[in-house]
Amino acid sequence: MIIYRLQNRKTNWGDYGDILVSGMTAHLDRHNDLLQLERTGPYVPPLVNSGLWDIVVTDKVKESLMMSQLTGINFKPVIKKHIVELDWTTWDTNAEEPTYYPQGGEPEDYILEREHSESLSKRMGDLWELVIPTIGTFSNENFIFSGQVFDIFKADNRGYILVTEKGKDWIERNAGDWVTFEMV
């Protein structure tokens, strides 16, 4: 079986672009087992890896996934803990550098140096964590399934989000704006 690693699409801006695309879910601990998201808005990619194994999807993508017949998916609401106004999608994404760097110099400062906007958070709509099962392990660069095969899953010993050909095709057609795939 061919499997693929799902990754966020890269920008020319290195870590600065990465944080603008993904936001952060690993910066804060979960609250009542829910992800706490810190990110820019109003734009949110339809599906994005926002932490090591954290996939955040928009409400529209969640609804489509529920009807997709892909296996291995569940959802939990995401707490939009710190949402800041910064529409980086108006910047030239082909440029060598972002339009500007945050004052503090660190990529996270695009978010952390700005105030949370509750009105922007509400305008963005509901966001969801795509909860996926752990179904195997990597050994000598080979993936070994330890149970039922699902279309979206993870390994217990790598920070990879993995998908079958069916999962890859669906995501590319329906939510692939900011993700890419690498054959494993």
pLDDT in tens, 57-90: 999 999 999 999 999 899 999 999 999 999 999 9
Q: Which of 16, 36, 45 is nearest to 77 (CA)?
A: 36
pLDDT at 159 (0 to 100): 84
**Positive or negative torsion for Cα 29, 32, 35, 38:** negative
Residue 50: predicted pLDDT: 93
The structure's pTM equals 0.94
Q: Is 177 left (phi over 0), alpha (psi -120 to 50) or beta?
A: alpha
What pLDDT, on the 0 to 100 scale, is given for residue 35?
Answer: 97
Q: Supply the range of the domain harboring residue 31.
A: 3-183
Give the span between the Cα atoms of 72 and 10, in whole angstroms: 26
**pLDDT value of residue 142:** 87
Q: How far is 97 from 73, CA to CA, in rounded Å?
A: 36
| Number of domains composing the chain | 1
Kindly give the parts of the chain with pLDDT less than 50: none
Encode burial over 18-43: b for 16+ CB neighbours within 10 A, e otherwise. bbbbbbbbeeeeeeeeebbbbbbbeb
How far apart are the C-alpha atoms of 157 and 175, rounded to whole Å? 26
Q: What is the pLDDT of residue 140?
A: 86
The amino acid present at 41, given as its one-letter code, is: G
β-strand 127-131 against 74-77: which pairing, if any? antiparallel
- Are 10 and 22 in contact by the 8 Å Cβ rule? The answer is no
Model pLDDT, residue 52: 77
